[in-house]
Each structure stands twice: as C-alpha cells, then as structure tokens.
Amino acid sequence: MKSVNFFNYKLSNLDIDNLFQKIILDEEDKNTKIINCMNPHSFVISKNDKNFKEALKDSYLNLIDGVGVSLYLTLKNMTKINRITGYDLFEKVIFIKKPTKYFFLGSTEKNLIKIKQRLGKENKNCLIETYSPPFVDKFSDDENEKIISKINSFKPDYLFIGMTAPKQEKWSFENKDKINVKFVLNIGAVFDYYAGYFPRPHKIIRSFGLEWIFRLLKNPRLWRRTLISLPLYVKYIFKEIFKSIRNVDVKIIDDIEILNKKINNDDIFIFSAFNLAMTSNLLGGNIKNENDFYFWSDGIFCKFFNRKIKKIAGNKFLNMLKLNEKFEQIHVIGNLQTQDRIFLSQKFKELYINFTPLPFGEPEDLLKNITSIEKNSLILLTLPTPKQELLAQMIRSKFDCVKIICIGGGLAIASGHEKKCPTILEKMGVEFIWRLRSETKRRTLRISKDIIIVIFSLITFRLTKLKISRYE
C-alpha cells in the first residue's frame, strides 16, 4: 500500500528508504514539488482553513508525521503504516552524496548560523544558504519578493521551510510557481532540533511516537495549541466513526438448498460469509450493503443477533455448492494454490473454469488485472475480508450481469491445503482460534480491531439499527 486515504487527504505510506528513492528518481522533474507533514494539529487547522486544505491536497507528498494519524490509519486499514517524521526525511536528504544546494527559510538568525555550521561540517559536498524572515502572520509584498529573489538567485535543490503550520504550507503553495527549486520540505520544528535549540527526544520516546509530549515539556507555548487541537482531533475521529455507522439490513441464508437455488436462478448478486469481520466492516461503512448483497452464516457471531440461524462454515458451503450448466464460465480469482485448482476442477468438471491468481495489492489495483468477464459467468473470489467484498462491488460496477461469491479462506480448507479445524472447536463455532496459529500477529490485530468496532457499535445500538434477518 503506497498511499492511504485520510479524510480525503492522500498520505504516503512508503517506508523511508523507498520514499527517498522516489525523491531521487523525481529530481529531474523541473516542477517544484512540495512535501508536507500531516499530524492531528495540521488536520484540525485544515478543517477551517480553505487555503491550508488546498495546500495539503496539492502536495507532491504528504507524510504521516503524527502518531495520532498513524494509529487511526493502522486501526482503519489493518495494514502496516509507515510513519515518517519531518526530521526522518530531513536526515536522509541532507546527506545526499553528490553536490547539493540547500536553502533554509525560517527560524532565527542565531539558529540558522548554527544549522549552517553543523551541516557544513557533516556534509562537505553541499552548499548552504539561509534567510530569517520577520515573525509576522503574513509577509508584505516587498518582503515576499525579497525572499523569492534570494531563493531564486541561489537556485537550491532543496528548500527547507521552518515557519510552523499552516504558514509554511500556505506560503510554499502560493509561491511554488515563483520559486526556482526542485523540492520544498515544510518541516517546522526540525530547525530548532538540528540547531540544538531543543534537544531531540530519546530514540525510545520517538519509537512510541511521543515526541509531542517531549515538545510540550520543553516548550510551554505549545500547550495552548495542543489542548485545543487534540480534543478537536478526537472529536473528528469519533464523528467519522458515528457517520460511518449506518442502518444495516443483513439478509442471512442458512439453508444450503435455498442458497443453491438462489445462486443458480437469480440474475445478479454478491454472496459472502457473515461473521465478525464482515459485521465490523458493514458497521464501519467500509462495505456498502446493497440490495443484492446476501450472506450465509459462516461464523458463530451471527447467533448473538439471531439464535435461530444455522451456522454454515465456508468449507462446508463449498462442498455443498451445486452449479448448473447455464454458467458459461467460472472465474476463480485471488489467492490460489495447486490443491485449490485441483479441488475446483474436480468438483465442477462439467464447467469451464478460468483461474486468475492475483498479486498482493489494494482492490483498485487488483481490478486492473481483471480485463474481461463473459456474460452468464460466476466469479469466485478467494481473498481476505473486506478486500474480496470491495473488489466484488468494483467488478459489479465494471461488468454487467455477473454473479459473485466471496469464498475467502474456505477454499483453502475445503481443498485440504490448509488443515481443517478440530471438530470440537468447529462445533463451538470458534474456528478463528484455530486459524490464529498461522499469521498470528496479523490475524490477532484484525480480530481485535473488529471486536472494538462491533462492541462500540453495539453500545450505540440505537444509532446502528443493525437488522439481522433470515432469508425465507
């Protein structure tokens, strides 16, 4: 995942090495490229500052700088989030081996002298220029021209701006067509750290993303900013959660005969397993609950809502699935092993099966690998939830009149390439415990996230209005 969506802001999810390589590769591009840092404070400001919001959206790169942002994105996306601070990138950029020009705009003259002296000692290949502008909310036209003229006369490769948010971001955005520079890095407090005005927090503190607490203790002026921004950020996060929680009407089919009849006769639909993961994504708004979305009761979880519903495990569903000959093709798309192919070929030997293995990636990227689907085809998706369901809805939008069944990990168990859960755990309906033995960290993290979302939703049940009904 090279980028992640954060309230309609596109944030880079590259690790520091790949990010740096991208910057080096794009050096030949003559356009000025602006790199900004996203943290809870900048996000809160952007909600009420149109120009600042525009500046952030126009960025070449937005780094995930704040721990509050990375934590939210980790829980939301259940994937590794690469948090890169402005200082992390700064440390990479200032040690480019080839001759490089650096311009520092911002801070005090005293700090700029220290920065120039230190960088000059640490990197003998670089040329350095600095400018300390007046501490005002907005520069006068004359001052602005003076700044631009000084930058352009030096023609730096990298322009570092340390004037705090949102001033630095808005200035670079408003003047990017006037300045002759390859990259602009809006890095704020990095100037103070590098100059030694403030000592940088210990590595352990940084690893936990607690630099902001350290800064508060060292700089009391930040208390007011933090005490305002942090509660507002939490408010926006919870507002988004409540916004995504919607009325969900789940149609459960727990009779295999009805399932087979519906699969073979209905025009178009998406079938998927209803379990903890699916409930979490439905309540969290990640998956649209459309009229033609049906579920079978895969997990014991659905019994918390309706005890009469019979459980059908994904592997049993596949073993009991019957398809008539009206399907011109079966497309099996996703994570596929040799045993999976053999199992399906033997089970549906009267039908033509087209196997399409997919690489790892996001649903939008995976869709590009699916070029054509014939009418009267049935698609079997073998991906994790919610990736397979999201991809199913994209396929439905791209191709007309197709039926899709999201079979997930059920195929691996049915085909025998993954060990079947012990009978006692299966009867208890806790197969997920058995599956934790592989990919333990990832699965545990996902289950924890799903439980949190569902519990939160149940606490606010009157808002969620979750309806579980049996399809008769």
Q: Give the pLDDT score at 445.
A: 74
CA 412, 263, 395 angle in degrees (round to 5)?
A: 70
Coil vs helix vs strand at 329: strand
**DSSP-assigned letters across all residues of 149-212:** HHHHHH--SEEEEES-TTHHHHHHHHHTTT---SEEEE-TTHHHHHHTSSPPPPHHHHHTT-HH
CA distance 345 to 291: 31
Q: At what angle do helices 222-244 and 211-218 cross, to 10 degrees?
A: 150
Give me the amino acid identity at 26: D
Q: Distances from the Cα of 276 to the Cαs of 240, 250, 255, 300, 408, in angstroms?
A: 21, 13, 20, 9, 14
Q: Give the pLDDT score at 108.
A: 93
CA distance 161 to 172: 8
Q: Give the pLDDT score at 174.
A: 96
Q: Smallest Cα–Cα separation from 88: which of 12, 197, 30?
A: 12
pTM strictly above 0.85:
no
Give me the amino acid identity at 362: E
Q: Give the pLDDT score at 419.
A: 81
Q: What is the mean pLDDT of each run of 10 residues along the chain (472 residues)?
A: 87 93 89 94 93 95 91 76 91 92 95 95 94 92 96 96 93 96 93 84 68 66 73 83 65 84 79 82 73 78 70 82 80 86 86 82 82 81 88 83 82 82 73 72 75 69 63 72
Q: Give the pLDDT score at 347.
A: 87
